[in-house]
Amino acid sequence: MKRLGFIGVGAMGRGMCENLIKKSGCPMTIFDVNEENANYFKGKATIAASSLEVFKNSDVIFLSLPNSNVIAEVTDEFFKEGVKGKVVIDTSTSYPMATKQLYARFKEEGGVFIDAPLLGGPAETAAGNAPCMVSGDKEEIDKVMNLIACYADPIDYVGESGNAHTVKLAMNFTSLSYAVTTAQIFPLMEKMGIDTKNLFKIMNEGPFGNWIFDFYGKKVVNRDYRLDFALGLGLKDMTYVKKLYEEYNVPGFVLDGVLDLLRTSLKDGKGKKDFSECAATMYEYLGLNPYKEA
């Protein structure tokens, strides 16, 4: 029986970890820098005092962390301890080039590194049906596919290391750019006297209707910015996409406009707010009330 470890049991990690505990039958050790997140698993898993303690006491370690810099700090400790025989599965949205470097070093030192980011949000991970892309050595992935299947469905293999994180960024760029479009157009339409709730209905029932438009359009029109995905994390993802364009020395064009609005919103203190709250910045620019009236 494999010993499992999970580092980062916040909004996304909690659902994954809970499903692994329920469905795998394997012992679990967890760590989170947020004590409240960790304490949720009292009586369900062993709560470690550090990421390194999780690593030492686990055969397969799952990561759900904010960015590639944090992942580098955590895995540096792993390398000092020795990674031979260990499997690390990164479920975060990470920078692909950093992922490729970690994969190569793990392989050189006798370990396994798999990138396996998810689509969807906390509700999907809790339900165990979050779509997942995986990449790395296929034979090694096959050995842990039953574990990933505890929280993910469908699971798509997309090739060599870093591909899954690259594909995830492509999907986030497309979806979050669409979300920013709704955040810009509906405040402008309201300023021009258009009934935006009716406009949203017309668009959503026509060719514009899709999950992203429905999800973010409702939030923007109703000024309902409940937290599902933090704006700061969205900015991080879009910054990673910008770095990919820079790898080939080409401009991002549309991406640059998205980044402008997100950075402006971040200056206004919205980094930990929901991604949709970038619409509040547009409402403010247009002299409209950015929030629901009490």
Multiple choice CATH, 4-159, 3.40.50.720, 3.40.50.300, 1.10.540.10, 3.30.70.260: 3.40.50.720
Distance CA 204, CA 218 (A): 10
Helix (H) or strand (E) holding 5: strand 4-7
Residue scoring higher pLDDT (120 or 86): 86
Helix (H) or strand (E) holding 210: none
For position 80, what pLDDT does the model report? 98
For position 293, what pLDDT does the model report? 78
Q: Which two tokens stand for residue 14?
A: 């909690």
Q: Which of 232, 204, 263 is nearest to 67 (CA)?
A: 232
Per DSSP bridges, beta strands 112-115 and 87-90 are: parallel
Residues 34-61, mean pLDDT to the nearest whole number: 98
Residue scoring higher pLDDT (209 or 87): 87
For residue 98, what pLDDT band results from cuts at 50, 70 and 90?
very high
For residue 162, what pLDDT band results from cuts at 50, 70 and 90?
very high
Residues 46-51, mean pLDDT to the nearest whole number: 98
| Alpha-carbon distance values, 29 to 62, 64, 88, 91, 216 (Å) | 10, 14, 14, 17, 36
CATH number of the structural domain 165-285? 1.10.1040.10
For position 294, what pLDDT does the model report? 61
Q: Please, are residues 236 and 161 in contact by the beta-carbon 8 Å criterion?
A: no
Encode pLDDT of 2-21 as tens digits. Answer: 999 999 999 999 999 999 99
For position 93, what pLDDT does the model report? 97
**Percent share of the chain, pLDDT over 90:** 95
Q: Which two tokens stand for residue 117?
A: 């980011």
- Amino acid identity of residue 117, one-letter, is P
Encode pLDDT of 125-159 as tens digits. Answer: 999 999 999 999 999 999 999 999 999 999 999 99
Asked if residue 66 has a cis previous peptide bond (ω within 30° of 0), the answer is no
Task: Return the domain boundaries, the chain.
Answer: 4-159, 165-285
pLDDT(292) > 90 = no
Domains 4-159 and 165-285 in one fold: no
pLDDT(45) > 90 = yes
pLDDT(179) > 70 = yes
For residue 268, what pLDDT band results from cuts at 50, 70 and 90?
confident
Encode pLDDT of 50-86 as tens digits. Answer: 999 999 999 999 999 999 999 999 999 999 999 999 9
Distance CA 20, CA 16 (A): 6
Average pLDDT over the chain, rounded to an integer: 97
**Percent share of the chain, pLDDT over 70:** 100
Q: Please, are residues 113 and 90 in contact by the beta-carbon 8 Å criterion?
A: yes
Q: Which of 90, 133, 85, 126 is nearest to 109 (CA)?
A: 85
Q: Please, are residues 15 and 121 in contact by the beta-carbon 8 Å criterion?
A: no
Residues 36-44, mean pLDDT to the nearest whole number: 97
